[in-house]
Amino acid sequence: MLVVRYTPKKLCVYFCGIFCNLWCMFRRRCWLAFLAGDEENVKEARDLNMGELVRIALEKNSAAVAQIDLDIPRSGESCPEKRQRLRRVLLAWCALNGFGYVQGMNLVAAVLLKNMSGSSTPEHDALACLSGVMVLNGGLVPLHAEDREPIQCVSIVVSKMWLQISLLEPKLETVLFEVLDFFEIACLRCMSVCFVNFFSSETLETVWDYIFDEQRKIAKTSDKCRHVLAAAVLYHKKLWVHGKDARQSYAIFEAVCKLLTDRQVGEILDLAKHLERLEFN
């Protein structure tokens, strides 16, 4: 008779695996509910003919197809099969939306597709979630270099953020005011893709868990993005003081945020939640 002996180490690995699977399932359902909507919306997305949508995009959106093919290798995915899945999601988006494709959407879709992989229809679910992200951030995505509306939206966001920062660190307000133009660019780059260019793909998921909380109304999502960005600035405030100039400070700030550990991201989110409580309670 074969007797299997479970050492404490094996048991720990076993239960950690169960916990990770349950957490991934919870995250997938939470993001899908927040970004795609109710069961009817999810069913509608899953009934889409992905192959037909891809065909339409290939026939009518040659410029978008060319840009997508350039961006796919930059999406952090090396597996050919997963790259093809990502390509289908982005092409289907182009076929469904007159908004078109902009750089950065590939990175958003890659993270969504990764987290929908446990679903029976990962591509359809990722497409539904991508639509939700773009609805949330549509006012902050520049369609053309001369499009001033996104910049004006960011100016409003920055103005609101100033109030939050001054509550915690009054002296920092003066320093940030001196680099306002660059800070607007920072907001525009980060918030238009839900911070996807700002954090590593691993820590980004932790940030999105906070932003895509299904218990919160979508109207608060932009505020939660603002809180995360303000908290990240507070967390790295010395970079804004010691850089040789504003552009260098921003470059260092961006690079450091991509190297954050899980613990540091947790501290930023704690600050963001504090800002949220200050504003909404």
Domain ranges of the chain: 10-138, 142-281
Q: Is 80 exceeded by the pLDDT of residue 99?
A: no
44-53 average pLDDT score: 93
124 torsion bin: left (phi>0), alpha (psi -120 to 50), beta (else): alpha
Of residues 274 and 13, the one with the higher pLDDT is 274
Neighbours of 88 (CB within 10 A): 19
CATH architecture of the domain with residue range 142-281: Orthogonal Bundle (1.10)
* Helices 201-211, 8-36: inter-axial angle, 10-degree rounding: 60
Give the predicted TM-score (pTM) of the model. Answer: 0.78
The count of residues in the chain is 281
49-58 average pLDDT score: 94
Which of 15-29, 117-131, 183-197 has maximum average pLDDT? 117-131
Token couple for 216: 């919160």
Token couple for 199: 């954090």
7-34 average pLDDT score: 69
pLDDT of residue 19: 46
Q: Tens digits of per-residue pLDDT, 192-213? A: 667 887 888 788 889 998 988 7
Please name the fold of domain 10-138: Helicase, Ruva Protein; domain 3 (1.10.8)
Q: Tens digits of per-residue pLDDT, 104-125? A: 788 889 999 999 988 889 999 9
Task: Tell me the average pLDDT of the chain.
Answer: 81
Label residue 37 exposed, middle or buried (CB < 10 Å: 0-12, 13-18, 19+): middle
CB 100, CB 64: distance < 8 Å: yes
